[in-house]
Structure 1
Amino acid sequence: MAYSLLVMKFGGTNMQDARAIRHSASLAGRSVREGIRVVVVVSAMAGVTNALLKLADAAQAGDIAAANDEIAAMRTRHFTAAQELGASPDSATVREIREMHETLRQAVYGVYLLRELTHRSRDLIVAFGERLSAPLMALALEQSGLRAHHLTGGEAGILTDAHFGNAKPLPGTYERVKDRLSGVLSAGVTPVVAGFMGETDKGATTTLGRGGTDFSATIIGKALGADEVWAWKDVDGVMSADPRVVQDARNIEVLSYGEVMELAYFGAKVLHPLAVTPLQESGIPLRVKSAADPDFPGTLVQADALDDGRHPVKAVTAIRNVSIINVSGAGALGVPDVVASLFAAIARENITLLMVSQSSSMSNVSLAVQSVDAERTLGALRSAVTAELQVEEQAGVAVLAIVGSGMRGQRGVAAGLFSALAQSEINILMISQGSSELNISVALDGTQVEEATRAVHQAFRLGELPAAVH
């Protein structure tokens, strides 16, 4: 296919040092030299996002020395990369990196003084990872002989709501992005956008949730009517299982938007769960490619799944560190307004539910949430229900899911899943199947999740046969 416009997203491992950045720039540059207009969207250097979260927490706890040590190490890392990419000590890139680290230090010191880390402050701090990597990518492109210009997500036009930490784009975003980036492209300049971030209509920095650089790339792809969005990763594409757990995991050639959303939601780290949503309306394909093997086609994500009818399951994935919150009490849960109050309390706290189950007697509701959200969930539910209802946490759980559009109407898929788990003597704590029939998910003991993943992968022969057939 002849491309005219591509959006290319580069993840943290492809931005982790000067060598990786230079290689990523060469991948973008290869297309630019073929006459293709390219928008580059970058993640923070590998490990920087976690370091920023850590230093923000240290400042809140009053340990400003630890926070400053982390900032100093980060500054050295970015300066080193800039120098190795060819920037002189008095260059604009080095000055900009120095100024950004000073602004970061001031923001962190404010958290230390107040001993308060709001969601808004956390977003401002954590977005520095992408803001610092964008100038480095622009520098690498310029050193290779191309013209480049870097922007924050907000400068690129990404306008979001004020749900700090998990913001969503507002409808006006797409026109803003088109207005701001089209001129840069038409001037023969490659835009480099700091991913993962946007801004509110009042100019406050927001983030799109962990992995949000994928989301940034697809928002831009839709806005500009790109031919495809390419997500460059350190894997061959979307795999049939985590290759660190299952040795014979295979690359999946083709997935539908719905399938990849299910996989991302249920723990596959390869994409942000909402990444494909901007593309669905316009039908723009997303391609997950390997930076180590750029000529390998990777995984194509498009509107339609390609199923051969014989292999209904395409992949097995899992979420670790899950807690089941059980709400129980004699009959009171059968009253509609009681159940409504549970979900209203969850919604107020902006907590993501992974699974929901209610007993037929209506005396028990079980909710699966990430363990990091368990304490907030317990507090929210206990304040929302009457004293006769018990709210208890069952920690140390994992959720395993099988995904595939071929499961619709196919007999025996659930039986195959349950048989594989039973033969491995794995107990199921909770079961759920989405109405779309794209997935079946089960909660189980977290210590057994790897064994369960291997058993299910083998039972559906996902390693032996192509996961998608043309």
Structure 2
Amino acid sequence: MQVFKFGGASVSTTERIRALVPIFHQFRDQQLLVVISAMGKTTNALEKVAHAFYDVNRDAALQLFQEIKQQHLQTAGDLLNTGYAACEEQLTNFFTEVEWLLHDQPVQSFDYYYDQIVCIGELLSTAIVSAFLNEAGILNQWLDVRDVLRTDDNFRDANIDWEYSALKVNQVVNPLFSKTSIVLTQGFIGSTDENESTTLGREGSDYSAAVFANLLDASAQTIWKDVAGVMNADPKCFPDAQLISTLNYTEVIEMAYYGAQVIHPKTIKPLQNKSIPLQVKCFLDTSLPGTLIHNKPVKDLPPIIVWKENQVLLQFKSKDFSFVGEQPVAQLYQTFAHLSLRPNMTQNGAISFTCVLDDNPEKMDELAHSAAGQFEVTVEKGLSLLTIRHFIPELFEKLSAGKKLVLKQETTETVQGLFRSET
């Protein structure tokens, strides 16, 4: 038993969907649980629908959703022959889920509506891919993951109910493998005990696959991407980025924590708990070795570079010169948790607490407002955060050139610098 995860790039075009067939032929003798993301930029498009709906702009929301509908119907039509009618009916049922909601007035939180709307992307993509693979002779059983993965109602960053989800895997998923060798389902989404759709955090399909790998006691998990494997930097920003052939769980967690866009931060724990190896492979060239991630020590890693734009520096200063100790910092972290915010860097002074976060205007405003009763709050936006693990000083100086250093933290292993451009 293996778990495969294919991201949005792997199903972004009809050509790439067709290219899945030879990959599955390579594993024809194995049982596979396959997790697939929304196609291409569908999630971004659905986010625009959610914002238009919440802004009470029904016509714009419906028009944006109409474009998404047509794109998926076109893709299904290009890929399918005998299976088109059944697939169209399935897609139409999903379309209806969203359209009923779009004709209502928003009365709940934005995050609630976000999940009800955005989750449809994975359902649409998997319906089409499953139908295509069946028609191509890769027999598989489509599964609505919302019938299996139970979560709480922390919309947009839901937490898995492991006990209930394990029960459903045994009741629903395992019996399917007596009928087929491939079960195909969605990443990123789940549902509450009231059958309301939830999402597991942006790019959460990696995590979904890891949850299934854990609950199914899989021998391995493979994430199929459009790159050769895990690189030591984003090749779009650093053309000389190099492939890392072997990593361990600890290193990948650190990379994800600092913002490397390789693997969802929650992915590793379910795998590490059962020592399930993780492979990152290239679906464009399956002959490439990719990256193997396991529980063993790894030495001689190159510097690992993470560059994050659109950072916000917030400073919380005591109004009465009282120390900013455990209690006020704990209160700030409670606010972070309430807003689903995670600081990328923090620094504590005698009467101040400084943190760096990804810019989310609505949440930044709410955070500043919430803290204003206790602190003087200053906010600076438009900054960049550089993190280098296994750093060498010369590399930090090279990447810092031409920028004004605002804040720096350094350990023997990792250096971080927050910058504003001098231009």
Give the TM-score range, shorter chain: over 0.9
> CA separation in 2, counterparts of 1:426 and 1:118?
37
Structure 2 counterparts to residues 42-441 of structure 1, below 5 A? 42-88=36-82, 91-110=85-104, 113-114=105-106, 117-155=109-147, 157-172=148-163, 173-308=165-300, 313-329=302-318, 331-359=321-349, 362-372=350-360, 373-383=363-373, 385=374, 389-404=375-390, 413=391, 415-416=393-394, 418-420=396-398, 424-432=401-409, 439-441=414-416
Q: Partners in 1 of 2:384 and 2:392 — Cα distance?
A: 18
Letter in 2 for 1:390: E
Distance 1:400 1:177, change over 3 A: farther
Question: Could you tell me the TM-score, scaled by structure 2's length?
Answer: 0.92
> In 1, are the aligned partners of 2:403 and 2:422 still within 8 Å (CA)?
no
Give the deviation of 1:417 after TM superposition.
5.5
In 2, the alpha carbon distance for the partners of 1:102 and 1:447 equals 51
Is contact 2:7–2:224 with CA below 8 Å preserved after alignment? yes
Does the 8 Å contact 2:24/2:138 carry over to 1? Answer: no
Instruction: State the Cα deviation string for residues 412-457 of structure 1 (Å, max 9, x = none).
Output: x5745654456x25433223457xx764322222689xxxxxxxxx
Change in 2 beyond 3 A, CA 1:264/1:25: farther
1:43 partner letter = S
1:166 corresponds to which letter in structure 2? D
- Give a deviation string over 1:206-258, Cα, whole Å, max 9, x none: 10111101111111111111121111111111111111111111111011112
DSSP 3-state at the match of 1:332: coil
Partners of 1:115 and 1:108 in 2: CA distance? 12
Mapped pair 1:24 → 2:15? no
Q: Which amino acid aligns with 1:52?
A: L
One-letter code aligned to 1:381: A
Distance 2:43 2:324 in 1: 44
Contact 1:290 1:296 in 2 (8 A): yes
Local SS of the residue matching 2:146: coil
Task: Go from structure 1 to structure 2 and tell me whether the alpha carbon gap of 1:337 and 1:319 turns closer, same or farther (over 3 Å shift).
Answer: same
AA matched with 2:365: E
What code does the residue aligned with 1:84 have? Answer: D
Determine the C-alpha separation between the residues in 1 that align with 2:119 and 2:422: 34
Instruction: Give the counterpart letter for 2:420 in structure 1.
Output: D
Structure 1, residues 143-168: CA drift from partner, whole Å, max 9, x if none?
1213211122222x212222110112
Could you say what secondary structure the match of 1:367 adopts?
Answer: strand
1:197 positional shift: 0.4
Over aligned residues, Cα RMSD in angstroms?
2.2
C-alpha contact 1:10 1:24 (8 A) present in aligned 2: no
Q: Structure 1 residues 301 and 93, CA, compared in 2 at 3 Å: closer, same or farther?
A: same
Normalising by structure 1, report the TM-score.
0.84
Q: Secondary structure at the match of 1:201?
A: coil
Are the equivalent residues in 2 in contact too, given 1:255–1:300 (CA < 8 A)? yes
Pick closer, same or farther for the CA change 1:14–1:137 going to 2, 3 Å.
same
Kindly tell me: are residues 144 and 201 of structure 1, through their superposed partners in 2, closer, same or farther at Cα, counting changes over 3 Å?
A: same
The 1:378–1:144 alpha-carbon spacing in structure 2 relative to 1, beyond 3 Å, is same
Taking the aligned partners of 1:193 and 1:446, their CA distance within structure 2 comes to 44
Change in 2 beyond 3 A, CA 1:102/1:297: same
CA distance in 2, matches of 1:226, 1:89: 31
Q: 1:222 to 1:77 in 2, by over 3 A?
A: same
Shift of 1:314: 3.8
Q: Displacement of 1:133 after TM fit?
A: 0.7
2:90 maps to amino acid: E
Shift of the 146–90 alpha-carbon distance from structure 1 to 2, 3 Å rule, reads closer
Instruction: Give the partner amino acid of 2:221.
Output: V
Q: Alignment length, in residue pairs?
A: 419
Q: Distance in 2 between matches of 1:87 and 1:341?
A: 59
**Given residue 346 of structure 1, which amino acid in structure 2 is its aligned partner?**
F
Gaps of 5+ in 1: 405-412, 449-470
Contact 1:159 1:169 in 2 (8 A): yes
Moved more, 238-247 or 172-181: 172-181
Structure 2 counterpart of 1:145, one-letter code: G
Q: Which residue of 1 aligns with 2:7?
A: 11
Residue 94 of structure 1: how far off its partner (Å): 0.9
Change (3 A) 1:61 1:214: same
Cα 1:374–1:81 change in 2 (3 A) is same
Partner of 2:334: helix, strand, or coil? helix
Unaligned runs of 5+ in 2: none
Checking the alignment, whether the CA contact within 8 Å between 1:88 and 1:94 is kept in structure 2 is: no
Distance 2:399 2:43 in 1: 36
Question: Take 2:41 and 2:421, find their aligned partners in 1: how far apart are those partners?
Answer: 25
Amino acid of the residue matched to residue 43 of structure 2? T
